[in-house]
Amino acid sequence: MKTRKKRRLSLTSKKAIAGYCFITPFLLGLLFFFLYPLMQSIVFSFNRLEVSSDGYQLIQVGLENYHRAFFVHPNFRRILVESITQMLTDVPLIIIFSFFAANLLNQKFRGRALARGIFFLPVILTSGIIIAMENSDLMINMMRSSFQQEAQSGTAGEMLRSLELRNLLYQTRIDPRFINYITGAIDRIYQIVIASGVQILIFLAGLQSIPPSLFEASNIEGATGWENFWKITFPMVSPLILVCTVYTIIDSFTKPTNRVMTMIRDVAFQQTNYGFSAALAWIYFVLILVILGIVIGIISKRVFYHE
Amino acid sequence: MKTLISNVHYKLFKSDKMRLFWHKNFILAKWSARGWALVRAVLVIGISFIILYPLIVKFSVSIMDERDLYDITVKYIPKHFTIENYKTAWQFMNYPKAFWNSFSLSMLASVMQLISCTLIAYGFARFNFPLKNLIFGLVIVTLVVPPQTIMIPLFLHFRFFDVFGIIKAITGQKGINLLDSYWPFVLMSLTGSGMKNGLYIYILRQFFRGMPRELEEAAYVDGSSTLRTFATIMLPSAVPMMVTVFLFSFVWQWNDSFYSSLFLQKLLVLPMALSALAQNINQYYYWEYGQMTNMSPAYASMMNNTGSIMLVVPLFLIYLFAQRYFVESIERSGIVG
């Protein structure tokens, strides 16, 4: 009996083997197309790479590439700082907007299916090449600015101008920096809306997963909608705020319109300076990790978990 | 007794008072609900307009004649309606060929990604094995690392492709060149390390974790093997989720200009055709009419818009078809878990 037990695998180890079988493709991919290239790119960043028809050669240059990125290159530092500040201003707006939109789409009204379809359209239609084209496109920018001009100077604009939000807010003596932030958000509403498709999906899924019994109980106790929102909806969805923030940060760092990204590409393929490009990419990657770490650290302390 | 009741009344919470107030003034309540419905309608329509606006502009520009671009009185509805732009874009994008290449590439890549990601996600969701959490952490890390970091090694990897020096031993050359073929995409998709595959693995894993274990246990008790249980019990119920993942991966592959510009130089796909469109037309005029002719920026932009519409239309059709699955499955999946 004892020998038989030894020969046969126990259930747990059987399961473990089956599990490994399922994830084998990923392990292979991880090794060949992720970890190995990652290691290589570290090596490249300390070298100068020369490609010839029968392979490539590495010439050791030490820290020169990194030194060049920080102290020699004319605008790497500026672009880096700009793209990070851009990200930091955009992320809260995107999170707030997508949470708001998810709440809106979660209510019952006529044409909800259509509205949802349109709200998720940016996920499909504004990725990759299309958004890159759109950003540099003459006609769309022209149309948009003429549209804005019309809104400001037309007859409707005349009436609205006295009510213009910015002037109104300036008179309330709130900190002007805050006012500029809010009104700036309204000016960039399109960028914010199209960046929040996936986040709306995530929040909407979260809103649907709140057990209705919680609302029933609180309604019987006599809570108002406002109280329900802050005491039930918000805490229950708060873990997703973390998920969405992380997603938004990664998305804004890796989207093709990001200027650091385009710079890394150009250095690699137009100036064919692979080593320098790898060094830039690594600086950028480490910065992303640091920022993500800080943000996750701050938010995860305040998140409420139901279980 | 009387004092008790008045005490109770006295201790009514503020919200209770509010409720009483709304209860008494039900006409007011009705109107305030209507008011909110109006505000909501304005908001929803407004945001929808912001999303659709560029699409509308693109479309209206694409059916204009060049004369209309310089005419101030023309705004959205062209005076000289024409489909000439589409003909030009069709010709200079080499549309049928680029479309076919793009379609087959996206189809191939997304089907393979779907298969591999589903298997991997199931492995993570249902089995316990050593180092599981570490490996799953690495799935997330693959999402965080910008693809630009590993772009050059990957490029060289596929330029001189070799597995443990086997090919070098056989042919004597330093690896084979896999660029300008579908192989880089196929290999990366099969191993679940293509574009944003970490996200798909994460979504599918959350879905499988939300499924009741009893179903599988019943199948195991009846003597079904692991693979068969997966194929006959789990897969059918995962179809809506898989449609979603398929849609994501197809669309992102279709629009992607990063990997396709990295791996494909001669093989024409739509994103590349679109970004080269204006340049191609310009070159054509240059050869045809001599050096002094240059395309006006407005015309170039008109062509770009036409090309964008032609790129988007197939996606739009797919989205119309799959939208229902897409929205519903995300809601039910417990992506949140």
Is A68 part of any domain?
no
Across the interface, do B13 and A41 touch by the CB < 8 Å criterion? Answer: no
Higher pLDDT, A187 or B56: B56
Q: Is A48 helix (H, G, I), strand (E, B) or coil?
A: strand
Is A99 part of any domain?
yes
* Residue B152 touches partner A, C-beta closer than 8 Å: yes
Q: Which of the residue ranges A225-239, A281-295, B276-290 would you say has the lowest mean pLDDT?
A: B276-290
List the single residue in A240, A265, A274 with the smallest CB-CB distance to B336.
A240
Is A61 part of any domain?
no
| pLDDT confidence of residue B118 | 93
Distances, alpha carbon A179 to alpha carbons A150, A171, A175, A176, in Å: 23, 11, 7, 5
Average pLDDT over residues A81-88: 88
Q: What's the structural domain count of chain B?
A: 1
Is A200 part of any domain?
yes
Average pLDDT over residues A227-253: 86
Taking contacts as CB-CB distances below 8 angstroms, the residues of chain B near A15 are: 127-129
DSSP string, A221-261: TT--HHHHIIIIIHHHHHHHHHHHHHHHHHHHHHSTT-HHH
How far is the C-alpha of A52 from the C-alpha of A205, rounded, in Å?
A: 52
- Asked whether the beta carbons of B273 and B93 are under 8 A apart, the reply is yes
How far is the C-alpha of A282 from the C-alpha of B146, rounded, in Å?
A: 9
Q: What's the structural domain count of chain A?
A: 1
Residue B148 Cα, gap to closest chain A Cα (Å): 6
Residue B5 has pLDDT above 50, yes or no: no
- Asked whether the beta carbons of B185 and B259 are under 8 A apart, the reply is yes
Is B195 part of any domain?
yes
Higher pLDDT, B102 or A206: B102
B10 confidence band (pLDDT: 50, 70, 90): very low
| pLDDT confidence of residue B150 | 85
Q: Which of the residue ranges A16-20, A245-249, B316-320, B327-331 would you say has the lowest mean pLDDT?
A: B327-331
* DSSP assignment letter at B176: B
Average pLDDT over residues A290-305: 85
Is A241 part of any domain?
yes
From chain B residues 175-194, the ones with a CB under 8 A of any chain A CB are 187-188, 190-193
Residues 6+ apart with CB under 8 A from B63: B78, B81, B82, B83, B85
Is B276 part of any domain?
yes
Residue A72 Cα, gap to closest chain B Cα (Å): 21
CATH code, domain with B116: 1.10.3720.10
| pLDDT confidence of residue B289 | 76
* Nearest in space to B183 (alpha carbons), one of A307, B7, B191: B191
Q: Can you give the residue range of the structural domain that contains A225?
A: 74-257
Q: How many CA atoms lie within 13 A of A59 on its CB side?
A: 9
Residue A294 has pLDDT above 60, yes or no: yes
Q: Can you give the residue range of the structural domain that contains B321?
A: 91-333
Is A181 part of any domain?
yes
From chain A residues 51-70, the ones with a CB under 8 A of any chain B CB are 51, 54-56
B2 confidence band (pLDDT: 50, 70, 90): very low
Phi, psi of B85 (to 5 degrees): -60, -45
B199-234 pLDDT tens trace: 889 888 888 887 788 888 888 888 888 888 888 888
Is B7 part of any domain?
no
- Whether the CA torsion B206, B210, B213, B219 is positive or negative: it is negative
* Residue B70 touches partner A, C-beta closer than 8 Å: no
Interface predicted TM-score (ipTM): 0.78
Is A3 part of any domain?
no
Average pLDDT over residues B71-85: 82
A10-49 pLDDT tens trace: 888 888 888 899 999 999 989 888 998 898 888 888 888 7
Kindly identify which residue of chain A lies nearest to residue B253, measuring between CA atoms: A128
Is A28 part of any domain?
no
